[in-house]
């Protein structure tokens, strides 16, 4: 375990920390091609970048990847080759992100008490985001999300493209992953909430459980559209040039 301020007391924990990595999406907004998590950035599959980043944080003991059903063996082999400092297993994902997370959640061993959920589509998440989420859960918050201020002006519009109102940006946050949870809270949320939420904290909110925010990072952005690949490649090139990877 790391010994920085954020993680120092984490080495005293008796339970283990697992990360569930939903990676079974098709990447339709990225355009035609392989499933998004298996497309490459700098020659390396996005999923490998994401799992490397999680393992590098050294606050993660176990990684469970929910992969496309027809690529389980190749994904397992690809991750095996990496020699990561965490146990990695691969399960078949489902039809929705929520389904994929639920399937991975079912496979956790009993000694795991903190569970993170991290999108494979956020391959460049910096280590400090992972450690601060785990530290906040370990400090007693049942649910923790990394967030950033919203930079654009946000307007509510109606079906005829008319502006209804301008939303107060000061109280808005854009939400990233990894999101972190006490295991029992995430399990209850997945068992009891049947919402079409796009994140796990949304399910937890529906239970009335408080959700705490920590600082996210611009480089934890989700690769969603073609322009995001351009940005991700540029960040990787900069990291490689500076010897950071």
142 touches ligand CTP (CB under 6 A): no
Binding mask 8-37 for Mg ion (x = CB under 5 A): -----------------x------------
180 touches Mg ion (CB under 5 A): no
Place of tokens 């489902």: 94
Q: 193 phi and psi, to 5 degrees? A: -100, 130
Pick the stretch among 29-37, 150-158, 165-173, 226-234 that binds ligand CTP (CB under 6 A).
29-37
* CB contact at 8 A, 186 and 119: no
Is residue 127 classed as helix, strand or coil in its secondary structure? helix
What angle (nearest 5°) sits at the alpha carbon of residue 219, between those of residues 215 and 223? 120
Count of alpha carbons within 13 Å of 84, Cβ hemisphere only? 28
- Work out what residue 129 binds among Mg ion, ligand CTP, none; the CB cut-off runs from 5 to 8 Å by kind: none
Partners of residue 91 on adjacent β-strands: 66
* CB contact at 8 A, 78 and 65: no
27 touches ligand CTP (CB under 6 A): yes
C-beta of 193 vs 224, nearer to ligand CTP: 224
Instruction: Work out how close the CB of 30 gets to Mg ion at its nearest, in angstroms, rounded to a whole number.
Output: 10
Measured CA to CA, the distance from residue 77 to residue 68 in angstroms comes to 14
Measured CA to CA, the distance from residue 59 to residue 66 in angstroms comes to 20
Binding mask 51-90 for ligand CTP (x = CB under 6 A): ---------------x------------------------
Query: 226: left (phi > 0), else alpha (psi -120 to 50), else beta?
Result: alpha
Instruction: Work out how close the CB of 117 gets to ligand CTP at its nearest, in angstroms, rounded to a whole number.
Output: 9
**Size of interface with ligand CTP, in residues (CB under 6 A):** 22
Instruction: Work out how close the CB of 62 gets to Mg ion at its nearest, in angstroms, rounded to a whole number.
Output: 25
C-beta of 21 vs 209, nearer to ligand CTP: 21
Fill in the DSSP letter of residue 157: E
22 touches ligand CTP (CB under 6 A): yes
* Residues near ligand CTP (CB under 6 A): 22-29, 36-37, 66, 93-97, 100, 119-121, 222, 224
* Residues near Mg ion (CB under 5 A): 25
């Amino acid at each position: 375990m790391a010994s920085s301020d954020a993680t120092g007391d984490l080495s005293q924990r008796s339970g283990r920390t697992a990360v569930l990595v939903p990676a079974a999406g098709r990447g339709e907004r990225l355009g035609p091609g392989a499933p998004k998590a298996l497309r490459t950035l700098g020659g390396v599959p996005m999923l490998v970048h994401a799992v490397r980043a999680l393992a590098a944080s050294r606050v993660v003991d176990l990684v469970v990847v929910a992969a496309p059903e027809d690529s389980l063996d190749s994904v397992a082999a690809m991750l095996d080759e990496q020699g990561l400092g965490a146990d990695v297993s691969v399960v078949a994902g489902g039809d929705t992100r929520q389904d994929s997370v639920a399937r991975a959640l079912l496979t956790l061993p009993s000694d795991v008490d903190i569970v993170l959920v991290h999108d494979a589509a956020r391959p460049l998440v910096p280590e400090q985001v992972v450690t601060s989420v785990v530290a906040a859960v370990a400090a007693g918050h049942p649910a923790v999300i990394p967030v950033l201020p919203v930079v654009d002006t946000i307007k509510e519009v109606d079906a005829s493209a008319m502006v209804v109102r301008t939303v107060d940006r000061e109280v808005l946050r854009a939400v990233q992953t990894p999101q972190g949870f006490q295991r029992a809270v995430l399990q209850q949320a997945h068992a009891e909430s049947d919402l079409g939420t796009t994140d796990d904290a949304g399910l937890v909110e529906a239970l009335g459980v408080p959700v705490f925010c920590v600082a996210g990072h611009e480089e934890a952005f989700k690769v969603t559209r073609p322009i995001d690949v351009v940005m991700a490649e540029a960040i990787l090139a900069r990291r490689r040039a500076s010897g950071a990877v």
